[in-house]
Structure 1
């Protein structure tokens, strides 16, 4: 395993997050908050840690192996959770277990929280840092998606989305090129989201923090501005969530070719939009039919919340826990689908469901015509048997982890439905599924449950296979030693 490059990449990510502390630090000074007491030490510790790791890895080989990539994907989230919780510890806002849970939840864009009390009791600098962690977490996942995940899991369906202009390679130079390209798109749609929120009437501070949560699909954290009765704000949020659901590689391809029309020829995007509109109509109609809202409010709230859960953002502008069970279960199920592959959303992703449905259709045709030779294609791209095998394996592992986690979480005293909501929220990065069944915050939950949920959040962002590779390499190292 190439340890030098492994530490070099970890150190670089630590330094990026250390420099990010400057933003809330400077803002807090301008607001008269004692930021130097918690952001100053946090920045110093993170930069020193990053510098030490980069110094250790300066002799790297410029190529990352599969095992090294898997270890990096696991430990980068743990490291981010560790440095992200420092301001909460130094400020005394949260104890250690709660601070780590809060940090991991933000970086993995889940949106569950241990914070209690009204948002006005929290320093604005900490609110800003929470939003920055979510934005950086979304960026980190996108960077992993176009650099390391393809090497660890064989692209896992990513190359089926479009004929990419980005070359997936374990070489550091090509990884940097891909990261810069996708990073520019991520920054650009963040700016568009900020502008949309400003036009909806938010202040610059609220527009920025709301854009951070929308583009990273982190959803409705406890410090969120979201409240019902403001259609302009909901449409600005919906616009931002739609941008975040798309394939960032597809955005880059359309930008390079100056051809937006080609983006709508993508099979995954068309299926995503079709499922969104169909599900939104179904939920809206049922809300109206059951007399929960009138026609206009049913359409507005139905579309907004379906998009919110579909994108695994989880913004909530109505009391969805009081909705009919049919609508709540639709919202719960749709988070498992998620957005397009190559986006910051969670879930299994639309592309993998397309492959699963095509596999089922192919088997049905084989039953009718056993001698027929059928080639499985998506958007005209042949699907390799290796990808089919990995999609099937991933689907099984994902659902197995979900059901086992539901049982484990129920040991804390939660009801079966609450346990399902929490497990689904942690694995799909849509913490609002817990809100569907009345779980609002985690401050009163036992420490072991917070630790297990933090593990699930990381596992959901690892796409499971990376964690299995880490376990395998650790077991092999243990056998060699003993």
Structure 2
């Protein structure tokens, strides 16, 4: 457990340093209640980091993570950070509901962006708005870190090894983990800086550019906090560029930059498939919006492309009340929401590389039916995909869709319609808050406390890609059987 406690200590340290900027802003703006709440939270984060570090020193130094240790970390770290993250909301008095505060914190950390404390975040103290944006940014970065370190060890990759043109090596050894973390952090930080510059050049103030960049690059934005409907075209273009870059494989970007090879990026099969899905969904929506007379062709192209890009990147931005669009458009948006971006990106959803493998598996199956003596082989980038990886992707797809159906059914018990509960379940599972707007609803802040906790659980399951939660539950049941 030495590496488990070591990672928990590092995450607590990161949270402590992340609280400094909101605390300074609260003091500068004389928001004393949030300042006190953030100070207490920082003290708790520092105390937790110290305790976890002591526990790591007492353990035998192995420097390697076991399967059980990795599953525990992937599940427990989200609950731990969620509890720490909700303390400023509770202690500042902005809410007295523990379920709402916990859901707000988890919504930020998982980059879902769904408001839970209030219907919108208008009127919040600026320091708490900054803390929410920082949590979203850290959540996107944390997901990338888990993706390149712990997740391959825990979930048997589930297609992660198909990223970066199969040239990324994953290892449970801490020294090798650090290398992957540095690579992911470098690309993530550079993209964030470019996003801030893009928004600033588009006309936003530096402070707003920083917050907007952190929310969009991490795919943690939402239509309630960031209203893009009245923004100039320059801001739309900046947001579109940031969402597109945030949907790409960060590890592949690193490899392309390291080798100074644009060809490596352009010829990536997953990126080509991503562009195909993006343009195909945009074409369907633009044609239908123009045909129904809702928009002129030029306006339909602008709002349609932006909205599809927002959903496929699971960013949650809105430039038009898409919930008032015809049912066909909403169905297409829901589908691309489940698709998500490329593997190795902070986006949610199933990820393009998995859908690409499933598509080629279907094609191989059809060919095998026509030619029974043929041995079907699923290839990606000219390399054969191992049968066990294909099997795991099939298992993951099944688990993902069963989880969505089950939680949609459970959320409907709270009194909302089945379509509305499906929208909330899709929003939580894919980390895209705008999916909750597709079919209306009272808003997460108006739902019962038990359903808010259920949504928080679904957000975590979506971020750790379901399997780790089931694996940890299996370890727990097995441990209880051995004790009995």
Task: Check whether TM > 0.5.
Answer: yes
Partner residue, 2:9: 11
Aligned to 2:169: 167
The residue that corresponds to 2:421 in the other structure is 419
Which residue of 375, 381, 384 corresponds with 1:382?
384
CA distance, structure 1, for counterparts of residue 247 and residue 191 of structure 2:
11
Write out aligned runs for 1:108-119 (5 A).
Answer: 108-116=110-118, 119=121
Displacement of 1:303 = 0.2
Change in 2 beyond 3 A, CA 1:221/1:62? farther
Aligned 8 A contact 2:227 2:318 in 1 = no
Q: What is the alpha-carbon distance in structure 1 between the residues aligned to residue 290 and residue 63 of structure 2?
A: 58
Distance 2:149 2:206 in 1: 33
CA offsets per residue over residues 284-338 of structure 1, 9 Å max, x none? 1211111111222111100000000011111012111110111011101111110
The answer for the alignment partner of 2:127 in structure 1 is 125
- Contact residue 274 and residue 342 of structure 2 kept, 8 A: yes
Q: Which residue of 2 aligns with 1:41?
A: 40
Superposition deviation, residue 57 in structure 1: 0.9
Q: CA deviation at 1:219?
A: 2.2
Separation of aligned partners in 1, 2:385 and 2:119: 51
Residue 27 of structure 1, aligned match among 22, 25, 28? 25
2:165–2:268: 8 Å Cα contact kept in structure 1? Answer: no
Instruction: Sort the Cα spacing of 1:309 and 1:118 in 2 relative to 1 into closer, same or farther, 3 A.
Output: closer
Partner of 1:73: 74
The secondary structure found in structure 2 opposite 1:400 is: helix
- 1:88 is matched with 89
The farther-off stretch of 440-449 and 313-322 is 440-449
Distance 1:221 1:139, change over 3 A: farther
2:183 is the alignment partner of 1:181: yes
Once the two structures are TM-superposed, the CA of residue 448 in structure 1 deviates from its matched residue by 0.7
CA contact (8 A) 2:426 2:432 kept: yes
Shift of 1:281: 1.7
Where does residue 359 of structure 1 map in the other structure?
361
Deviation at 1:117, TM superposition (A): 6.2
CA contact (8 A) 2:108 2:139 kept: yes
Q: Distance in 1 between matches of 2:442 and 2:315?
A: 15
| 1:69-468 matched pairs, under 5 angstroms | 69-95=70-96, 96-116=98-118, 119-163=121-165, 166-220=168-222, 222-439=224-441, 441-468=443-470
Alignment gaps of 5+ in structure 2: none
Distance 1:56 1:221 in 2: 42
Residues 361-411 of structure 1: per-residue CA shift (max 9 Å, x gap): 111111111111232110112100110110000111111111111111111
Q: Secondary structure at the match of 1:466?
A: helix
Contact kept? 2:429, 2:461, Cα under 8 Å:
yes
How far apart are residue 166 of structure 1 and its match?
4.1
In structure 1, C-alpha distance between the alignment counterparts of 2:14 and 2:86, rounded to whole Å: 16
Say if 1:166 and 1:178, in contact at 8 Å, map to a contact too: no
Q: How far apart, CA to CA, are the structure 1 residues paired with 2:403 and 2:395?
A: 12
Deviates more, 1:86-95 or 1:30-39: 30-39
> CA contact under 8 A between 2:2 and 2:56: conserved in structure 1?
yes
Q: 1:207 to 1:326 in 2, by over 3 A?
A: same
Output the CA distance in 2 between the equivalents of 1:228 and 1:36: 32
CA shift for structure 1 position 418: 0.5
1 CA distance for matches of 2:375 and 2:123?
65
Give the Cα separation in 2 of the matches to 1:168 and 1:49.
29
The 8 Å contact of residues 89 and 101 in structure 2, kept in 1 or not, is answered as: yes
Measure the CA separation in 2 of the matches of 1:338 and 1:38. 36
Q: Once superposed, what is the RMSD of the aligned Cα atoms?
A: 1.4
* Structure 1 pair 118–109 and aligned structure 2 pair: CA distance change class (3 A): closer
Cα contact 1:8–1:54 (8 A) shared by 2:
yes
Q: Which whole-Å CA distance do the structure 2 matches of 1:97 and 1:373 have between them?
A: 53
- Alpha-carbon distance change, 9 to 118 in structure 1, aligned in 2, over 3 angstroms: closer
> Offset at 1:229?
4.8
Greater Cα offset, 261-270 or 115-124: 115-124
In structure 1, C-alpha distance between the alignment counterparts of 2:176 and 2:412, rounded to whole Å: 45
- C-alpha deviation, 1:206, in angstroms: 0.9
- 1:5 deviates by 1.6
Aligned-residue offset at 1:423: 0.7
| Contact 2:164–2:249 (8 Å) recurs in 1 | no
Q: Do the aligned partners of 2:78 and 2:460 also contact (CA within 8 Å) in 1?
A: yes
**Aligned residue pair count:** 480
1:406-438 CA distance string (max 9 Å, x none): 111111111111011011111111121111111
1:61 is matched with 62
TM-score when scaled to structure 1?
Answer: 0.97
- Contact 1:127 1:223 (C-alpha < 8 Å) held by counterparts: no
Measured in 2, the distance between the counterparts of 1:62 and 1:119 equals 43
